[in-house]
Amino acid sequence: MTARFTLHGIYLSGPTYKVGLALALAGEPFDYDHVNLRAGQHKSPEFLAKNRFGQVPCLTDTSNGRNLCQSASILEYVADKTGKFGGATLEERIAAREWMFWVWDKLAAPVYRTRGAKAGFRTFDEATLQMYAAEATAALSFLDKALAGRDWLVGEAPTIADIDVYGVVHYVGEAGFDLAPYPNLTAWVARMRALPGFGDPADILPPETRAAA
Ligand SMILES: N[C@@H](CCC(=O)N[C@@H](CS)C(=O)NCC(=O)O)C(=O)O
């Protein structure tokens, strides 16, 4: 049987992982379409017709033909359609959205870009790398304080804010930063990893196109 959702992405992509993780945690099987960025597939007319920004991830909802883009926006859609992780009240939904804007603003760039540099995909001069290290440290420290005395970023249960932020925090080690100085954040990471359905990128994103199991 064809799955309701098709995730278009690449296994190395943090934003693609966030969406795959949200679907996995929601218990929603999905078909997976490997987009070959090296070959420029994300700039092909067929792909641009799905995502005008020419980026992964993209999520197709085959029940209505919608193609969704921008990982945080996709998480809101998944929460809306599955009824999971969206937040219990309007206040929680607003707070979740605020966290998702915050993480892209303050943590995603320094972590993802430094990780890209470590893996040899990106090149930055030393001053830029130092700036990213300072930004990552400030944002991780902020997150650690925000998690003091609470289990989840918003309300009393995990939301797409946690999934979205986890989708960046997961790569902190690969970027060469350390979570050890942040006990609240480290405990939250353990809670995320204990959620039913949780998987690492390698569990969730295959290196090739694959139908839902
Ligand atoms: N803000 C976007 C960022 C997506 C993004 O940066 N995707 C990268 C792969 S991780 C990509 O497609 N890069 C190719 C490009 O931008 O041309 C999101 O959250 O979905």
The stretch 186-207 carries a mean pLDDT of: 98
Closest C-alpha to ligand 1, atom 2: 70
3-state secondary structure of 46: helix
Query: Is pLDDT at 68 greater than 90 in this prediction?
Result: yes
| Proportion of the chain above pLDDT 90, given as a percent | 99
A 10 A CB-CB count for 55 gives 19
User: How does the average pLDDT of the chain come out, rounded?
Assistant: 97
Asked if CATH classification 1.20.1050.10 holds for the domain at 90-193, the reply, yes or no, is yes
Q: Do 47 and 8 touch, CB atoms closer than 8 A?
A: yes
Q: Report pLDDT digits (tens) over 18-60.
A: 999 999 999 999 999 999 999 999 999 999 999 999 999 999 9
Q: Which atom of ligand 1 is nearest to the CA of 55?
A: 12
pLDDT given at position 77: 98
Query: Is pLDDT at 1 greater than 70 in this prediction?
Result: no
Q: Report pLDDT digits (tens) over 138-159.
A: 999 999 999 999 999 999 999 9
Q: Which atom of ligand 1 is nearest to the CA of 37?
A: 14
Closest C-alpha to ligand 1, atom 1: 70
CA-CA distance, 107 to 6, in Å (whole number)?
28
Domain ranges for the chain, please list them.
5-84+198-204, 90-193
pLDDT given at position 172: 98
Q: How far apart are the CA of 13 and the centre of ligand 1, in A?
A: 8
A 10 A CB-CB count for 191 gives 15
The stretch 2-10 carries a mean pLDDT of: 95
pLDDT given at position 22: 98
The CATH code that applies to domain 5-84+198-204 is 3.40.30.10
Q: Which atom of ligand 1 is nearest to the CA of 35?
A: 12
CA-CA distance, 118 to 113, in Å (whole number)?
9
Cβ < 6 A, ligand 1 pocket: 13-15, 37, 42, 54-57, 70-71
Using alpha carbons only, how large is the chain's radius of gyration in Å? 17
Query: Is pLDDT at 17 greater than 90 in this prediction?
Result: yes
A 10 A CB-CB count for 4 gives 18
Q: Report pLDDT digits (tens) over 93-134.
A: 999 999 999 999 999 999 999 999 999 999 999 999 999 999
Query: Is pLDDT at 2 greater than 90 in this prediction?
Result: no
Q: How far apart are the CA of 206 and the centre of ligand 1, in A?
A: 18
| Proportion of the chain above pLDDT 70, given as a percent | 100
Ligand 1 pocket test, pick from 55, 164, 165 with the greatest ligand atom count within 8 Å of Cβ, gives: 55
Q: pLDDT grade, residue 213 (50/70/90)?
A: confident
Closest C-alpha to ligand 1, atom 17: 55
CA-CA distance, 136 to 194, in Å (whole number)?
25
Closest C-alpha to ligand 1, atom 6: 55
